[in-house]
């Protein structure tokens, strides 16, 4: 089964002396990086800037702060760095132009909420294990105040950033998932990956249905062996799907009555509703179908004869989990 793919965004604040160390790492000003064995200097030539620094980080930060007329204290945050990336699975098979387009889209996202003029550097590193971008900016607000607290904020504001980031990136990269649980974010988007996994699970269910059809005293032993072999992959797949659908439970229409209402509503859409509403209802129908298929995948386990199920549960030396009950 395909693995989850997540967009990554992390903030870090810097006040003064450490800014030079951040610059040295980001801009690769050293010849060797003994403290970071992940850096392959032979690949550093593939690193690239989307925004190049006009001067040293600290000097540029002080210039912007002075130009804005802001007062600073010793403990004032003068630079915020954002690390943008994605899980390794996302980058597998992608060539340099595709990777560049991803980070260009990341930059477009960020510039919606922070002035490009405050960005000192945006550099993509290709010489470590996973491609990532270090974006360094001066935390000046739209009205010219130096306030990392207002821009980055507390936990609630960080969650807001993560929500906005995922909402933007998932439009062009629909396989990307939001890191936090759906219950925390109110997420209503189910990644295409899960629909693909359900398609594979449906094929397994159909095979199981074929084996269960016509099972009797004369063929039960042979069928039991085939069913047990199939269940080795089927039960873990159903359990994984159960966990994923629970994670995205806010996306589902939960009752049969609501599903029927959606179907009736869908027939009238082309005449009475706009395209956006049409797509919204179609999405709900698709999500409801996914949930129904999961319920069918669980229900078929109830048809397995007790003697076959007992034989499967107790065979071999490894302990197997019994079938799970329906419901999310």
Q: Which CATH number is 162's domain given?
A: 3.30.930.30
Domain of 33 in residue numbering reads as 5-180
Same domain, 220 and 284: yes
| Domain shared by 213 and 302, yes or no | yes
Residue 325, by phi and psi: left (phi above 0), alpha (psi -120 to 50) or beta? beta
DSSP 59-78: HHHHHHHHHTT----TT---
pLDDT of the residue at 190: 64
- Of 180, 201, 235, the position where a domain reaches its end is 180
The answer as to whether 326 is a domain residue is: no
* Overall domain count for the chain: 2
322 in any annotated domain = no
**Are 112 and 235 members of one domain?**
no
Report yes or no on 185 lying in a domain: no
pLDDT of residue 61: 96
pLDDT of 204: 87
Decide if 22 contacts 53 (C-beta within 8 A).
Answer: no
pLDDT at site 125: 94
Residues 153 and 255 in one domain: no
Q: Which residues pair with 14 in a beta bridge?
A: 79
Assigned domain for 320 exists: no
On whether both 198 and 101 belong to a single domain, the answer is no
Is the domain of 112 the same as that of 243? no
Six-digit token pair at 200? Answer: 């594979």
Write down which residue in 148, 180, 212 finishes a domain: 180
Among residues 180, 215, 238, the one where a domain terminates is 180
Same domain as 305, residue 214: yes
Intervals of the chain under pLDDT 50: 1, 34, 180-188, 250-259, 265, 268-273, 276-278, 317-320, 322
Same domain, 24 and 156: yes
């Amino acid at each position: 089964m395909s693995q989850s793919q997540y967009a990554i965004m992390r903030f870090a604040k810097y006040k003064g002396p450490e800014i030079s160390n951040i610059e040295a790492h980001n801009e690769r000003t050293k010849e060797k990086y003994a403290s970071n064995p992940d850096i392959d200097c032979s690949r550093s030539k593939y690193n690239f800037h989307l925004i190049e620094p006009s001067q040293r980080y600290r000097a540029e930060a002080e210039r912007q702060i002075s130009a804005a007329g802001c007062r600073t204290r010793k403990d004032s945050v003068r630079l915020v760095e954002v690390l943008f990336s994605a899980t390794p699975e996302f980058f597998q098979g992608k060539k340099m132009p595709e990777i560049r387009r991803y980070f260009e889209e990341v930059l477009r996202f960020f510039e919606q909420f922070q002035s490009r003029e405050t960005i000192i550097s945006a550099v993509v590193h290709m010489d470590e294990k996973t491609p990532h971008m270090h974006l360094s900016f001066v935390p000046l607000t739209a009205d010219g105040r130096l306030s990392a607290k207002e821009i980055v904020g507390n936990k609630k504001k960080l969650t807001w950033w993560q929500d906005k980031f995922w909402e933007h990136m998932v439009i062009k990269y629909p396989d990307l998932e939001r890191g936090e649980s759906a219950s925390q974010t109110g997420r209503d988007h189910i990644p295409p990956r899960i629909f693909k996994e359900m398609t594979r699970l449906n094929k397994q269910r159909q095979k199981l249905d074929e084996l269960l059809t016509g099972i009797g005293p004369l063929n039960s032993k042979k069928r039991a062996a085939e069913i047990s072999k199939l269940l080795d992959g089927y039960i873990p797949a159903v359990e994984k799907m159960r966990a994923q659908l629970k994670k995205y439970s806010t996306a589902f229409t939960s009752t049969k009555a609501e599903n029927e209402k959606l179907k009736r509503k869908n027939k009238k859409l082309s005449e009475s509703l706009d395209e956006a509403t049409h797509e919204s209802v179609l999405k709900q129908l698709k999500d409801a179908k996914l949930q129904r298929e999961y319920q069918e995948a669980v229900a078929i386990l109830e048809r397995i004869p007790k003697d076959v199920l007992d034989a499967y549960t107790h065979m071999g030396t490894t302990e197997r989990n019994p079938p799970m009950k329906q419901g999310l």
